[in-house]
Amino acid sequence: MTPAKSKTAATEEKSKAKAKAPPKKPRAATKARAKAKKTAAPRKARKAKSRAREGFVPRVVVFACNWCSYAGADAAGVSRIQYSPHFRIIRVMCSGRVHPAFVLRAFELGADGVLVSGCHFGDCHYIFGNERAVEQFEKTKALLKILGLEEGRIRLEWISAAEGVKFGRVIDEFVEQVRALGPSTLAPPGRELPREAEAFADAAALAK
């Protein structure tokens, strides 16, 4: 079996798994966690939180490297791990490719949080790509700090192809973190990506 073939098979398997298994997160637990964060959150975050709509669903963009993290997402799928579906995954060949422009563009289009994920140090398919990822991420962080965006809206993670469980856990953690922060103040009105609920409504309307 060639690696390419197994890749396709795994991807299909993953999408099937995702389609079949809607998350069954205990709502009460989620709310309790969000509430706990609310009291501890700084003023700015609380302000954002107060603006948050009832039942705010965060839109998280995940940049995952082809060799480790994307395969890690596959592993999460084939292992039927239950985790938050509120993220959109974008596969890049290497986490080092994730230029600040990608992250900024995501926020410009209305993302509430961005996660960049690559191979562990020493495991990079391109030897030092993830070291470049750190450099790029530091730059992104510096730019977003000047823009005044909460630091909790971006995250850099190392997830290997075997760490499906970790992938699910990181996504859950990050989505909860972004949910607590509320909607991003940077999304210019009229340039937003459709929220999940709206996207589903659109799809339903199209099907009729």
Residues forming the site for another protein (CB under 8 A): 44, 99-102, 104-105, 107-108, 139, 142-143, 145-148, 185-188, 191
In the complex with another protein, the residue whose CB is nearer, 31 or 145, is: 145
The least distance separating another protein from the CB of residue 154, rounded to whole angstroms, comes to 14
Token pair for residue 61? 């963009």
Closest distance of CB 55 from another protein, Å:
22
Minimum CB separation of residue 186 from another protein in Å reads 5
At its nearest, how many Å lie between another protein and the CB of residue 3? 29
Taking the least distance from each CB to another protein, the nearer of 9 and 142 is: 142
Cα–Cα distances (Å) from 111 to 14, 61, 88, 123, 174, in that order, read: 23, 7, 10, 29, 13
Q: Are strands 60-65 and 113-118 parallel, antiparallel or unpaired?
A: parallel
Tell me whether residue 5 or residue 43 sits nearer to another protein (CB atom): 43
Those residues whose C-beta lies under 8 Å from the C-beta of residue 130, and which sit 6 or more positions away, are: 65, 94, 95, 96, 118, 119, 120, 121, 124, 158
List all residues 6 or more positions away from 74 whose beta carbon is below 8 Å from its beta carbon: 10, 11, 13, 14, 161, 164
Q: Toward another protein, which CB reaches closer, 106 or 175?
A: 106
Tell me whether residue 14 or residue 97 sits nearer to another protein (CB atom).
Answer: 97
> How far apart (Å, rounded) are the C-alpha atoms in residues 51 and 186?
13
Q: Checking phi first, is residue 155 left (phi over 0); if not, alpha (psi -120 to 50) or beta?
A: beta
CB of 60 to another protein, least distance (A): 18
Instruction: Considering the complex, state which of residue 108 and residue 198 has its C-beta at the smaller distance from another protein.
Output: 108
- Contact call for residues 62 and 117 (beta carbons, < 8 A): yes
For residue 63, the cross-strand partners are 90, 116
Query: Closest distance between another protein and the C-beta of residue 36, in Å?
Result: 24
